[in-house]
Amino acid sequence: MVHNMIAVIGGGPAGLFAARLIKLNQPSTDVVVYERNGSDVATFGFGVGLTEATMSNIAAADPHASELVRQASHAGHDLQLRTGTASVPLHGARNLAIGRAELLAVLTKLALEAGVTIRDGQRVLVDDITADVIVAADGVRSATRAKYAEQLGVHESIGRGLYMWCGTDFAVDSAFFSSRTLGDGLYVAHAYPYTSERSTFLLETDDETWDAVGLGEFDAATAPGESDERSLAILTEAFADELAGHRLLANRSRWARFSTIGLDRWWADNVVFLGDAAHTAHYTLGSGTKLAMEDAIALSQALAGTSDIAAAFAEYETRRRPPVDRFKLLAARSQRWWESYRLRYQAPAEQIALSFMTRAGNLSVADFARNEPETAAAALASLGGGRPSDPSELDDWIMTRMTPATDAPVADVHWREPDVWGREADTVVTSLASARAVRLDGPDDDSAVGARIDLAERIRLTSNAMTIVALPDKDRTQGTSAVAARRCDRIELRD
Ligand SMILES: Cc1cc2nc3c(=O)[nH]c(=O)nc-3n(C[C@H](O)[C@H](O)[C@H](O)COP(=O)(O)OP(=O)(O)OC[C@H]3O[C@@H](n4cnc5c(N)ncnc54)[C@H](O)[C@@H]3O)c2cc1C
């Protein structure tokens, strides 16, 4: 036996799955999960999505768990992008969806089956516990993380957009993103079914709406824990078509801003962090539960068969940091795309669809055209005629359809900061107010390349300047996607 006692703080997906896997690997170790909510307390949130890639990773580590999670899930569904006037199909949404409560019930059963002790209704702090290893899986507001903040190096940024997690008491017939205006407000719904009679209905809005409609009045007047009934009434009216006479279900639902958490290191002393306690990635990538469960797999494997806790924690972090960082990068770009939706929502639906699918830089125009040829054809029509029928030839064609080089003076901007809507970016954009053409260059790492494409898009959406992005040859496909999705007018490739 390598550890006598392992304590897990938090009975969410990360904590429960880690506890089960650790106990299966180390049957003689006592594994205890402390969860502050009693089993009678309704959990926050409605459904969450799980991709087939995530399900394969779970199946490889724990086939039985994968089977039970799949049984409790709602099968994949189509995805549409809807504006007030049009609806276009999007591909890539054949995810499973599962109610958060159902997922926790399955993971609880699996943990108990493995021999884990679960202490429900016990809020614990790390100082209350004695154990060889303490697994901090206490979520985005982790008190354990706060206690170790200095050793961990905590970074937190708060999103500009506002979201509210709601549900419906019927299954929408396909997943969709839908934008609606009502009075002075602009709202977006992200909806998908997670049982045959329930859907997640996640709503978003922005500061312009918040101020114009006075959505902040509820927050100022009401204690946490209640749902924002006034906003729910507004949203029910705005999405009357989509709700088809049903009401929005709320569970402590109120406007919130997403908190992005990152740590310089994921462990300190005998305490290791996983799931939302260690990192968060914007919900529009639908990856938080996935990352939490994959962390649990890696941690249980790193701990197995060694009594060297520090080595196990280091191995866990080394293995998990690269994929987590990649998802965080994609999620951050997705977040900024949705937070600036107001600048796009009046574009043709096909154009928005192409922009949406390529927003994080990980899907090419060719992939989009293979899956949704008609939508792609409509979105690409503005680049002119002669479009090849073979999607693999689209990148070359887009290179010939870019806005030609200009004789006008070009303002050069060196840029690498991912937050293209922050103060630093505001200063740059203001300084370019009279520029006729802007050329953005910078480092060649993925984050910097994405950042200058996103800054070019901001400039393009808010001014008349022509935008040129300099890119390394390796990012040619991302560059042509940026041109096709109107993030920039031209790309310049270099070795
Ligand atoms: C609006 C929104 C939509 C989302 N949609 C998706 C999606 O579609 N797909 C997806 O994969 N993810 C989604 N997520 C993310 C997902 O909910 C989280 O990433 C996931 O729940 C993280 O799991 P976790 O176990 O780390 O933390 P949590 O699920 O937050 O669990 C932490 C647990 O710790 C308990 N706890 C906290 N403090 C203590 C304490 N001191 N003592 C005892 N117990 C404690 C809490 O009660 C909680 O049960 C979404 C998130 C948001 C905000």
Q: Which sign, positive or negative, has the C-alpha torsion 483, 469, 158, 291?
A: positive
| pLDDT exceeds 70 at position 113 | yes
Burial of 218 (C-beta count, 10 Å sphere; 0-12/13-18/19+): middle
Asked if 298 and 159 touch (Cβ cutoff 8 Å), the reply is no
Cβ-based neighbours of 359, under 8 Å, separated by 6 or more: 333, 334, 337, 485
pLDDT score of 294: 98
| pLDDT exceeds 80 at position 92 | no
Going by pLDDT thresholds of 50, 70 and 90, the confidence category of residue 80 is very high
| pLDDT exceeds 90 at position 40 | no
| pLDDT exceeds 90 at position 39 | no
The pair of structure tokens assigned to 476 is: 């040619």
Asked if 166 and 236 touch (Cβ cutoff 8 Å), the reply is no
Residue whose Cα lies nearest atom 52 of ligand 1: it is 283
Mean pLDDT on 261-289: 96
| pLDDT exceeds 60 at position 251 | yes
Q: Enumerate domains of the chain plus CATH numbers.
A: 5-74+97-158+258-335 (3.50.50.60), 162-249 (3.30.9.20), 347-494 (no CATH)
| Ligand 1 cavity residues, CB under 6 Å | 9-15, 34-37, 45, 48-49, 123-124, 137-140, 143, 163, 165, 202, 275-277, 283, 286-290, 292
| pLDDT exceeds 70 at position 44 | no
| pLDDT exceeds 90 at position 95 | no
Cα–Cα distance measured from residue 413 to residue 376, given in angstroms and rounded to the nearest whole number: 31
| pLDDT exceeds 80 at position 91 | no
From residue 166, alpha-carbon distances to 61, 116, 145, 201, 202 in Å are 32, 32, 28, 5, 5
Q: Mean pLDDT in the chain?
A: 94
The pair of structure tokens assigned to 254 is: 């109120």
Asked if 303 and 22 touch (Cβ cutoff 8 Å), the reply is yes
Q: 139: CA distance to ligand 1 center in Å?
A: 5
pLDDT score of 78: 84
pLDDT score of 309: 96
Mean pLDDT on 363-380: 94
Cβ-based neighbours of 176, under 8 Å, separated by 6 or more: 79, 80, 81, 82, 87, 189, 190, 191, 192, 242
Cα–Cα distance measured from residue 16 to residue 32, given in angstroms and rounded to the nearest whole number: 10
| pLDDT exceeds 80 at position 393 | yes
From residue 234, alpha-carbon distances to 179, 186, 213, 227, 238 in Å are 14, 11, 10, 13, 6
| pLDDT exceeds 60 at position 1 | no
| pLDDT exceeds 80 at position 2 | no
**Closest residue by Cα to residue 250 from 186, 175, 195, 168:** 168
Cα–Cα distance measured from residue 12 to residue 28, given in angstroms and rounded to the nearest whole number: 23
pLDDT score of 41: 62
Q: 154: CA distance to ligand 1 center in Å?
A: 18
Percent of the chain topping pLDDT 90: 86
Going by pLDDT thresholds of 50, 70 and 90, the confidence category of residue 418 is very high
Digit-coded pLDDT (tens) for 308-320: 999 999 999 999 9
The pair of structure tokens assigned to 377 is: 């054809």
Q: Which sign, positive or negative, has the C-alpha torsion 409, 411, 412, 416?
A: negative
Q: 395: CA distance to ligand 1 center in Å?
A: 40
Q: 304: CA distance to ligand 1 center in Å?
A: 25
Task: Using the atom order of ligand 1, give the atom closest to the CA of residue 288.
Answer: 19
- Sequence letter at residue 450: G
Mean pLDDT on 98-119: 96
Residue whose Cα lies nearest atom 11 of ligand 1: it is 289
Task: Using the atom order of ligand 1, give the atom closest to the CA of residue 10.
Answer: 34
Q: 8: CA distance to ligand 1 center in Å?
A: 14
- Sequence letter at residue 8: V
Going by pLDDT thresholds of 50, 70 and 90, the confidence category of residue 93 is low
pTM: 0.94
